[in-house]
């Protein structure tokens, strides 16, 4: 393997468990109960939920996706390796590397074919052995192109595809080769009788026409059938990628992006334009030559043709040998990244957008995510946090504020929109154990990209993994999908491998020169990627071993996908209950992946492990046996709408449903939970303590914890069965006591919240107190009367307003989101609020005027105030609805005017800042001024046009940190 050392834990994990033991006989099956709440949704499934990473590892590209079957096409890989002299009938000659008189500066090398005897019936040529053979298929068309010159014009020259034994499957003649370099083309079509085979060669020869002549060849291509007209992408491999319905493809790596040394990074500008102008580079990340014929545009086309968006990794000044670009030399690489983004997204009136159009793709590509570097935790110098990430972040955000920046390791110097987590483990259980990894992860931080993961249990003979590995990955995927509010995407890695030469032990798709297969992991990816709804719905699993995992999604139109992963060696009979649907169709489609857990697929046995599709009679309640070692997706048809349930990271209130008490909400008072009447007119303090921030359960899979809105860090928890508010002490006991699992309401409406560690007990109001109660226990609060109604709650929006969290104490700039104005930031000028264009070239004063410290609200600790960067002690406040910068005054009016409550952006983007004392008014830019505007009031700044975008702001990195 040529890859660099992985962190110690990972190495240990890789070393462990490379093989799983033999299947054990099925034990007595436990009985499990799986409840699916089709009537509620939790997180929205991201369009990028499941995708791929494609880089040139394992010949994924050279000899893989790049359709050219010719290896060492421009004679830069180890002399004339892959080329040899071919003669027959008494012809004679020699082949050698020529490094002079080449095609151009990028391609100075050529293959020199010196022809001796070449009379009638004789043949002298150069044969190329391809990438571990040359793939030949029946009835297939190959497009040939090469550059050639001769010492004296002669011809014709013959190109052919033939077996290594000399059986010619297709040949064509190209005309006379002249003395100057020129491009020659031909089409080779194989007959229907040609065998699908790899023991073949590609030949350029003089067949009795070249005696005494010398022929030079370079940039030789013989392109196998491609997926589409553009991109030159090998059809079967691209088809396999597309068949998984990927939401994104992370390109171009991975280690390949970085290179072992600077000169061998992915220098994207060298990979575009005519292939004969590309010099290629040593792929020293993975140990073979890259022609760069599959360049940036090809990667983008691959994503486009697979129906995915590209997730771009940009080189960020760190290479695999540990070299770090010094700060004073990094700017050109930042510019290189900006140019790359312009190439991908710019209009044709931009320099690089025009280049893209010239290269054949006038339309910009969609791009939302840009990752700075790759696995920069390997850089022990701290440069990523201290200057590399900041320099890229600032420049990209300034030029492209709409882009989401992915950090390859945690940083503190700048915000992270997304953090890229990688997980490899030789033990399927190690990856399966990550299924709960994100259940209680912080929702205030960045989103998560699991940019690489996989069970690394390939064998020395087969670079693709076992079914048990695939099941481990499926288990992890249930957790990533359940946490779709946090995990925006995930990619198994690596996606492709040659079965003849690989550097990574376990990969998704195996291929040789002519055919390919999907590993069990591939089928898991395809099942998750294609049998996927648009929202996650809650599931509850009881009575099951921990190794049975489930997740469910549904579409708006009612298709329900229930995915069950059984990692155990026993079949598990499970009672399924589909709640919350008006009707459940009588038949489900059952897609099942199962078999010998140690089995793999291969080129010769591609379908040893493959999904089967059957149908089954189902209803609102039915029993299903999930086979040992299986991944099963049930596709059901339901009717009835779904409503959102407890959105993690958002505010909520719990309102009683018991007749006669429906004006009551749960709030805390004096450290215990109570129910009391709350209305819009209630005192602010009461509304605040009746508002909770929904957190992923501190303890439990798919469950929730309710954090106090006015006592951050304190949660509702039960203690001696009574529910109280207490500070999280970090213990497992607290986590369990503070975790509740949502289920359909016990009374048939609303929701019920089941105690995580006392599953028969539900959150109940009883005599104005709140308990966890069982139906008919020994406590007064266990009374059976009204139990169902008392334990059923209506989920309300938070009584209090700040619905989004912002890091208090940080310097930020507020960036407009209105299309056409995204280069504007809130700034004060002569003590009045404006929006102004701020760029990296702006004056220091302008940058300071556009920077604020976001502090705890002067009037309310769940809201925020904005303190000027260059006038500490001065805050943004409204006065006559106009925003001004005024010195702090210790009056309630000043505090209220200077306090703003963060809400999810009115336009769906960023945040909206609601005035603390004028709840219908939001921080708004209007004609370059900043106001608190309402949607349709009497002021000009209350105009309804553009209200939502004008009142939605990005909290951008500070112009003056």
| Contact present, 248 and 311 (Cβ < 8 Å) | yes
Alpha-helix runs per DSSP H in 207-252: 235-243
The stretch among 253-261, 294-302, 394-402, 766-774 that binds ligand AHR (CB under 6 A) is 253-261
Measured CA to CA, the distance from residue 441 to residue 650 in angstroms comes to 15
Which of 375, 379, 860, 950 touches ligand AHR (CB under 6 A)? 375
258 vs 737 by CB, closer to ligand AHR = 258
Closest separation in Å from C-beta 502 to ligand AHR: 11
Measured CA to CA, the distance from residue 663 to residue 682 in angstroms comes to 12
Q: How many residues bind ligand AHR (CB under 6 A)?
A: 12
Q: Which two tokens stand for residue 739?
A: 């975790």
270's enclosing H/E stretch is: none
The residues with which 511 forms a beta bridge, in sequence order, are 498, 516
Measured CA to CA, the distance from residue 204 to residue 132 in angstroms comes to 19
Closest separation in Å from C-beta 286 to ligand AHR: 8
Distances (CA, A) of 795 to 40, 626, 743: 11, 34, 12
Interface with ligand AHR, residue 3, by CB under 6 A? yes
55 vs 292 by CB, closer to ligand AHR = 55
Closest separation in Å from C-beta 375 to ligand AHR: 5
| CB proximity list for 792: less than 8 A, separation 6 or greater | 657, 658, 745, 746, 747, 748, 749, 750, 751, 752
375 vs 439 by CB, closer to ligand AHR = 375
259 vs 280 by CB, closer to ligand AHR = 259
524 vs 703 by CB, closer to ligand AHR = 524
Which of 218, 374, 714, 951 touches ligand AHR (CB under 6 A)? 374
The stretch among 204-212, 247-255, 349-357, 425-433 that binds ligand AHR (CB under 6 A) is 247-255
227 vs 504 by CB, closer to ligand AHR = 504
Which of 110, 255, 563, 813 touches ligand AHR (CB under 6 A)? 255
452 vs 860 by CB, closer to ligand AHR = 452
Measured CA to CA, the distance from residue 658 to residue 654 in angstroms comes to 12
Site for ligand AHR in 444-483 (CB under 6 A): 452
Which of 102, 231, 247, 254 touches ligand AHR (CB under 6 A)? 254
319 vs 815 by CB, closer to ligand AHR = 319
Give the number of other CB atoms < 10 A from CB of residue 579.
20
Burial of 75-91, coded b for 16+ CB within 10 Å and e otherwise, reads bbbeebebbebbbeeeb
Nearest to 503 by CA among 285, 351, 296, 673: 285
Peptide bond preceding 36: is omega within 30 degrees of 0, i.e. cis?
no
Closest separation in Å from C-beta 448 to ligand AHR: 16
Closest separation in Å from C-beta 283 to ligand AHR: 11
Minimal CB distance to ligand AHR: which residue? 254
Which of 494, 520, 745, 958 touches ligand AHR (CB under 6 A)? 494
Closest separation in Å from C-beta 420 to ligand AHR: 9
290 vs 566 by CB, closer to ligand AHR = 290
E-strand stretches of 168-314: 168-174, 182-189, 200-206, 214-223, 248-251, 281-283, 288-290, 309-314
Closest separation in Å from C-beta 455 to ligand AHR: 13
253 vs 597 by CB, closer to ligand AHR = 253
The residues with which 110 forms a beta bridge, in sequence order, are 98
Closest separation in Å from C-beta 366 to ligand AHR: 24
Residue 473 phi, psi dihedral angles, 5° rounding? -65, -40
Measured CA to CA, the distance from residue 946 to residue 344 in angstroms comes to 29
Alpha-helix runs per DSSP H in 651-710: 684-689
Classify strands 664-669 and 704-708 as parallel, antiparallel or unpaired: unpaired
Q: What share of residues in the chain are helix, strand, coil (percent, to 5)? A: 15, 35, 45
253 vs 611 by CB, closer to ligand AHR = 253
Interface with ligand AHR, residue 373, by CB under 6 A? no
Crossing angle, helix 389-399 and helix 331-345, to 10 degrees? 40
The stretch among 152-160, 248-256, 553-561, 855-863 that binds ligand AHR (CB under 6 A) is 248-256
Closest separation in Å from C-beta 2 to ligand AHR: 10
215 vs 508 by CB, closer to ligand AHR = 508
The residues with which 719 forms a beta bridge, in sequence order, are 722
Which of 17, 20, 55, 513 touches ligand AHR (CB under 6 A)? 55
Closest separation in Å from C-beta 480 to ligand AHR: 17
Closest separation in Å from C-beta 252 to ligand AHR: 10
Contact string 56-75 vs ligand AHR (x = CB under 6 A): -x------------------
464 vs 774 by CB, closer to ligand AHR = 464
| Contact present, 84 and 130 (Cβ < 8 Å) | no
Q: Which two tokens stand for residue 588?
A: 């489900």
Closest separation in Å from C-beta 422 to ligand AHR: 6
Kindly report the CA angle at 780 between 779 and 786, in degrees rounded to 5? 120
55 vs 886 by CB, closer to ligand AHR = 55
Closest separation in Å from C-beta 353 to ligand AHR: 29
Which of 330, 398, 431, 493 touches ligand AHR (CB under 6 A)? 493
Closest separation in Å from C-beta 497 to ligand AHR: 11
11 vs 893 by CB, closer to ligand AHR = 11
| Contact present, 877 and 897 (Cβ < 8 Å) | yes
Q: Supply the DSSP string of 400-437, one letter for each residue.
A: -TTPEEEESS--SSS--SEEEEEEEESSHHHHHGGGGT
Nearest to 216 by CA among 187, 177, 186: 177
325 vs 374 by CB, closer to ligand AHR = 374
Interface with ligand AHR, residue 882, by CB under 6 A? no
Measured CA to CA, the distance from residue 787 to residue 640 in angstroms comes to 27
122 vs 497 by CB, closer to ligand AHR = 497
Place of tokens 């190690």: 430
Distances (CA, A) of 245 to 349, 415, 523, 529, 830: 33, 31, 12, 5, 54
The stretch among 79-87, 167-175, 251-259, 353-361 that binds ligand AHR (CB under 6 A) is 251-259
Which of 227, 352, 476, 504 touches ligand AHR (CB under 6 A)? 504
Nearest to 34 by CA among 532, 676, 714, 540: 540
Interface with ligand AHR, residue 310, by CB under 6 A? no
Closest separation in Å from C-beta 523 to ligand AHR: 20
Interface with ligand AHR, residue 51, by CB under 6 A? no
Distances (CA, A) of 581 to 253, 538, 558, 560: 43, 13, 9, 10
The stretch among 108-116, 252-260, 724-732, 895-903 that binds ligand AHR (CB under 6 A) is 252-260
Interface with ligand AHR, residue 284, by CB under 6 A? no
254 vs 651 by CB, closer to ligand AHR = 254
The residues of the shown chain that bind ligand AHR, judged by CB under 6 A, are 3, 55, 57, 253-255, 374-375, 452, 493-494, 504
């Amino acid at each position: 393997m040529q890859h660099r050392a992985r962190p110690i834990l990972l190495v240990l994990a890789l070393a462990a468990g490379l093989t799983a033991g033999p299947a054990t006989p099925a034990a007595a099956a436990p009985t499990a109960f799986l409840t699916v709440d089709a009537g509620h949704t939790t997180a929205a499934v991201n369009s990028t939920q499941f995708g791929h990473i494609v880089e040139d590892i394992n010949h994924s590209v050279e000899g893989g996706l790049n359709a050219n079957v010719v290896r060492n096409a421009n004679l830069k890989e180890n002399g004339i390796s892959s080329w040899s002299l071919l003669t027959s009938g008494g012809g004679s000659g020699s082949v050698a590397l020529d490094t002079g008189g080449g095609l151009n500066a990028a391609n100075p090398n050529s293959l020199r074919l010196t022809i001796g005897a070449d009379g009638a019936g004789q043949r002298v040529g150069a044969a190329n052995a391809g990438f571990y053979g040359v793939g030949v298929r029946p009835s297939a068309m190959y497009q040939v192109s090469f550059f050639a010159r001769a010492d004296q014009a002669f011809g014709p020259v013959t190109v052919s595809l033939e077996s290594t034994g000399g059986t010619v499957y297709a040949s064509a003649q190209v005309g006379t080769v002249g003395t100057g370099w020129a491009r020659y083309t031909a089409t080779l079509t194989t007959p229907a009788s040609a065998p699908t085979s790899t023991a073949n060669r590609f030949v350029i020869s003089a067949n009795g026409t070249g005696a005494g002549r010398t022929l030079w060849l370079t940039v030789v291509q013989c392109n196998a059938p491609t997926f589409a007209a553009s991109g030159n992408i090998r059809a079967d491999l691209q088809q396999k990628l597309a068949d998984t319905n990927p939401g994104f493809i992370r390109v171009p790596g991975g280690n390949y992006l970085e290179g072992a040394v600077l000169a061998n990074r992915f220098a994207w500008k060298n990979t575009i334009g005519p292939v004969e102008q590309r010099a290629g580079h040593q792929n020293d990340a993975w140990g073979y030559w890259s022609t760069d014929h599959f360049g940036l545009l090809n990667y983008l086309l691959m994503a486009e043709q697979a129906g995915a968006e590209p997730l771009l990794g940009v080189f960020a000044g760190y290479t695999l040998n540990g070299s770090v670009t010094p700060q004073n030399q990094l700017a050109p690489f930042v510019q290189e990244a900006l140019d790359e983004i312009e190439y991908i997204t710019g209009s044709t009136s931009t320099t690089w957008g025009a280049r893209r159009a010239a290269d054949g793709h006038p339309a910009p590509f969609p791009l939302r995510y840009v990752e700075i570097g790759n696995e920069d935790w390997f850089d022990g110098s701290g440069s990523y946090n201290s200057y590399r990430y900041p320099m890229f972040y600032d420049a990209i955000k300034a030029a492209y504020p709409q882009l989401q920046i992915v950090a390859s390791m945690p940083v503190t110097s700048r915000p992270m929109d997304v953090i890229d987590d990688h997980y490899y483990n030789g033990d399927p259980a190690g990856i399966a154990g990550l299924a709960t990894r994100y259940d209680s992860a912080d929702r205030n931080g960045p989103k998560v990209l699991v940019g690489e993961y996989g069970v690394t249990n390939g064998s020395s003979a087969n670079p693709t993994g076992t079914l048990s590995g695939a099941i481990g990955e499926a288990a992890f995927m249930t957790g990533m999908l359940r946490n779709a509010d946090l995990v925006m995407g995930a990619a198994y890695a690596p996606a492709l491998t040659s079965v003849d030469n690989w550097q990574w032990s376990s990969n998704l798709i195996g291929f040789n020169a002519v055919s390919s297969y999907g590993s069990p992991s591939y089928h898991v990816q395809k099942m998750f990627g294609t049998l996927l709804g648009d929202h996650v719905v809650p599931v509850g699993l009881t009575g099951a071993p921990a190794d049975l995992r489930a997740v469910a999604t549904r579409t708006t139109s009612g298709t329900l996908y229930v995915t069950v992963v059984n990692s155990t060696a026993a079949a598990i009979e499970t009672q399924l209950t589909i709640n919350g649907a008006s009707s459940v169709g009588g038949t489900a489609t059952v897609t099942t992946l199962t078999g010998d857990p140690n089995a793999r697929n291969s080129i010769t046995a591609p379908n040893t492990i493959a999904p089967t599709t059957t149908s089954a009679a189902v209803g609102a309640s039915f029993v299903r046996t999930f086979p040992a070692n299986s991944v099963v997706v049930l596709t059901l048809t339901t009717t009835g709408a779904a409503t959102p349930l407890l959105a993690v990271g958002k505010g909520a209130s719990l309102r009683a449903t018991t007749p006669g008490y429906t004006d009551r909400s749960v709030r805390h008072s004096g450290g215990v939970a109570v129910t009391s009447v709350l209305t819009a007119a209630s005192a602010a303090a009461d509304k605040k303590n009746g508002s909770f921030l929904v957190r992923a359960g501190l303890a439990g899979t798919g469950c929730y914890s309710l954090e106090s809105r006015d006592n951050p860090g304190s949660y509702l928890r039960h203690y001696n069965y009574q529910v109280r508010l207490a500070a999280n002490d970090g213990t497992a006991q607290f986590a369990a006591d503070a975790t509740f699992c949502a289920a359909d309401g016990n009374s048939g409406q609303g929701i019920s919240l089941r105690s995580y560690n006392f599953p028969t007990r539900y959150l109940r109001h009883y005599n104005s107190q709140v308990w966890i109660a069982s139906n008919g226990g020994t406590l007064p609060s266990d009374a059976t009367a009204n139990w169902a109604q008392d334990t059923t709650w209506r989920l309300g929006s938070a009584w209090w307003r700040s619905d989004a969290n912002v890091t208090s104490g940080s310097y930020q700039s507020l960036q407009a989101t209105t299309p056409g104005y995204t280069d504007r930031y809130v700034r004060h000028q002569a003590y009045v609020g404006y929006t102004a264009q701020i760029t990296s070239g702006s004056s220091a004063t302008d940058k300071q005027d556009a920077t604020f410290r976001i502090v705890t609200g002067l009037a309310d600790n769940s809201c925020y105030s904005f303190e000027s960067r260059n006038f500490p002690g001065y805050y943004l406040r409204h006065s006559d609805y106009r925003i001004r910068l005024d010195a702090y005054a210790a009056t309630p009016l000043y505090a209220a005017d200077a306090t703003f409550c963060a809400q999810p952006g009115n336009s769906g983007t960023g945040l909206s800042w609601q005035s603390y004392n004028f709840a219908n008014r939001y921080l708004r830019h209007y004609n370059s001024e900043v106001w608190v505007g309402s949607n349709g009031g009497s002021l000009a700044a209350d105009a309804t046009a553009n209200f939502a975008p004008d009142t939605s702001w990005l909290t951008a990195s500070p112009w003056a940190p």
